Structure 1
Amino acid sequence: MRQLMIQVPSGRGNEAASAARRHGAPDAAVVAAEDNGEPLDLVVTHVPTRAVGELLDALHELPGAHAAFSPENTLALRPPFEDANRQAVEPGNRAPLEVLLDSLSSISSMRGFVGYTVLTAVLVWVSLITNTEYLLLAAMLIAPFAGPVVNAALGAAHGDVRLLAHGVGRFVAGLALLIGVAAVMSLTVGLQAATPLMADVARVPL
């Protein structure tokens, strides 16, 4: 279950509560409140995780509706409380909306992305030059390319062209920067021949 707090114009709270119940909410409390002196209705409800996105879509029909929720499990219990273990079990995974929002919130700043990409390039280059495999593993661990790949995949699955383009663009830009940094370092030291580790990494098993 996820706890949602829905803010709607005064007099529309019962509509929001009804929408929550239609999506499996066991409870929905409507409270009169104010925001900057403007009267409004505040609806506090608990909705099954799988229905969070559907409820938010339904709230689009209510003008001026705002919703907030924390992506953490909430236990909505009813008497007898001896059955709490049964009531607390909710089958299913996280809501697709939560996965998408987590992906969006995990997007780092461009400065951090560039910094980690440059550091990755340096570690990869040093690893290949010195035949030090553990540095290559360290570079894999800090490489910031997993985020853009996941964002691109989620954008494609969700139909979000902007998120897809953002993920692909960051991945391509990061890869180009990594190659560029490694090339500059190789030209600086005048590298002429491949090292044994370079040959091992470049070998494609048939």
Structure 2
Amino acid sequence: MRQLTIKIPKGNKKKVQDAIEKFKGKNTIDISSESEDVFMVYLPNQEVNNFLKEIDEFEEPEITLIPRGVITLYPPASESPDQVADVKPKSSLEIYLGGIQSVGSMFGLIGYSFVAGIIVWIGLFTTTSYLLVAAMLVAPFAGPAMNAALATAAGKGSLLKSSLMRYAVAIVTGIIASFLLTLLFPLKTLTPLMEEVSQVSKFALFLPLVSGFAGAINICQSERDSLVSGAAVGILVAASLAPPVGLIGAGLYMMDWQVVFSSLYRILLQLLGIHLAATLVFYFYGKVTPNGVRFLRGGKKTGLITTMVVVLGIGAMMYWQFRQPPFLRKASMNTELAEVLGSELNKIPNIKVLNKDVTFTNVKRNNKSIANFEATILKTDTIISSEELKDGIIQHLKKNMKYSYDDIYEVYQIHVVTD
């Protein structure tokens, strides 16, 4: 429930009371004076927007909306548990105005983005994973991303432009912070964590879709109905944005364009995926539409064109990703090739596979991406020498390993141990 205070000119008292009853208002207090009618009313969340539209005709009413959950208890007392448990999503008006309120200052946006860029660079440089999580907490990417989706759902071009501008400012600031630190503490080679972060999975689209869905649901639900904190959802939205932002700065300094382009790809894919999922949630679940929000003069054309651009953008990026193996699929190809490696090793007699792994590097050979096939083998046949066994395993793998990827240069590291 939401608490509203309404002040209107005299002569509309009965109409307002009828509207309150129509939209299931409870515990109404009439504190009218000689010159004006004043009501304090408690309405279900989803009825706030429709109620305000109903009374908007009464000579510009003055309205105070408190965006906090209120528990209303009314007769009969036996129904009190059901009354308390009746938690509805926010009204479309509150969702939209709340998004605008969350814009914050530009100084804070730049400051937090710069700090996040520093933290993520330190995490990448020192190979400290928990610092990447800390950077996700600080990075202010969730707000602009959600506001851009709100703007598309509502068809509000001005809000869309300002949200995208803030999103760009946050990302560029993080990149500058990372680049400056790399300038002060020069890198000559990527750290193992940088190598890992730079690689894109073929499932990369799933994370932004889930993030956008979760972020929009969190905004639409009332605070008493939300099982997950806003901070946690913010981390989810920034999970795949903060690391590549920090990596771009280092990649620019080192002129490692493969790292730069793969990171830019991930950032753009995150923006499009989050935008699409959140827009659909706001439109269909939050009822944020050009005609569904009071005070709003949005255009359906703006929302439709933006959505089409986003969908086409995602389609083009997916096409590019699957047409460019293994450049934009290394993270998932590691697992797939490791399964092929393990399957072939299990066919070789007199050995036990203790460990197997496949990793890609950003180094190329003969214009092909290098894949390192590594395995630790326990020799069970004492007759054959370790070197002979190692050579036999490598020859078997070169001859028999089959996979659907081209443009891969294979190198092998086979470690033979004995008990």
- TM-score, normalized by length of structure 2? 0.44
Q: Equivalents in 1 of 2:128, 2:119: separation in Å?
A: 10
The aligned residue for residue 116 of structure 2 is: 120
Q: 1:73 aligns with which of 67, 70, 73?
A: 70
- Hey, what does 1:11 align to over in structure 2? 11
**Contact map agreement 1:117 1:174 (CA 8 A) in 2:** yes
Shift of 1:29: 4.5
SS in 1 for 2:104: coil
1:136 matched to 2:127? The reply is no
Aligned residues: 201
SS of the equivalent of 1:187 reads helix
Unaligned runs of 5+ in 2: 201-330, 334-419
Partner of 1:3: helix, strand, or coil? strand
Cα shift at 1:119:
0.5
Q: Secondary structure at the match of 2:32?
A: strand
**Residue 6 of structure 1 aligns to a residue in which SS?**
strand
* Deviation readout 1:50-104 (Å, 9 max, x if unpaired): 11011112222121301113231231412x3233224444253232323333333
> Which digits, 9 at most, give the CA deviation of each residue in 1:120-147, with x for residues without a partner?
1111111222222221221111111111
TM-aligned CA distance change 1:89 to 1:120, over 3 Å: closer
CA RMSD of aligned residues (A): 2.2
Distance 1:91 1:118 in 2: 39
Matched, 1:24 2:24: yes
Equivalent in the alignment of 2:186: 190
| Greater mean deviation of Cα atoms: 19-28 or 172-181 | 19-28
Q: Secondary structure of 2:119's partner?
A: helix
Q: Counterpart amino acid of 2:156?
A: D
Contact kept? 2:73, 2:80, Cα under 8 Å: no
Q: 1:202 and 1:160 mapped to 2: Cα distance?
A: 35
Counterpart CA distance in 2 for 1:25 and 1:156 is: 31
Take 1:106 and 1:57, find their aligned partners in 2: how far apart are those partners? Answer: 24
Q: Which moved more, 1:147-156 or 1:23-32?
A: 23-32
CA 1:132–1:90 in 2, change beyond 3 Å: closer, same or farther?
closer
| Counterpart Cα distance in 2 of 1:179 and 1:76 | 53
Counterpart of 1:64 in structure 2 is: 60
Q: Distance in 2 between matches of 1:135 and 1:29?
A: 52
Give, in whole Å, the separation in 1 of the partners of 2:22 and 2:11.
Answer: 19
Structure 1 residues 136 and 29, CA gap change in structure 2 (3 angstroms) = closer
Distance 1:203 1:133, change over 3 A: same
Matching residue's letter, 2:64:
A
Task: Tell me the CA shift for residue 26 of structure 1.
Answer: 4.6
2:234 maps to none
Mean Cα deviation higher: 3-12 or 91-100: 91-100
- Opposite residue 145 of structure 2, the aligned amino acid is V
Which has the higher relative contact order, 1 or 2, with Cα contacts under 8 A spaced 6 or more apart?
1
Q: 1:83 to 1:126 in 2, by over 3 A?
A: closer
Please list, as runs of the form range in 1=range in 2, the aligned pairs for 1:93-112 lying within 5 A after superposition. 93-112=89-108
Distance in 1 (alpha carbons) for counterparts of 2:136 and 2:187: 23
3-state SS of 2:190 partner: coil
Counterpart Cα distance in 1 of 2:112 and 2:29 = 47
Which runs of no fewer than 5 residues in structure 1 stay unpaired?
A: none
Distance of 1:4 and 1:53 partners within structure 2 = 11
TM norm structure 1: 0.85
Secondary structure of residue in 1 paired with 2:33: strand
**Inter-CA distance 30–181: structure 2 relative to 1 (3 Å threshold):** same
Letter matched to residue 171 of structure 1: Y
Question: Pick from 189, 195, 198: which aligns with 1:199?
Answer: 195
SS at match of 1:92: coil
Runs of 4 or more consecutive aligned structure 1 residues displaced over 4 Å after TM superposition: 26-29
Moved more, 143-152 or 85-94: 85-94
- For 2:170, the aligned partner's letter is G
| Contact persistence 2:27–2:74 (CA under 8 A) | no
Answer whether contact 2:4 2:65 (CA < 8 A) is retained. Answer: yes
Q: 1:146 aligns with which of 122, 142, 161?
A: 142
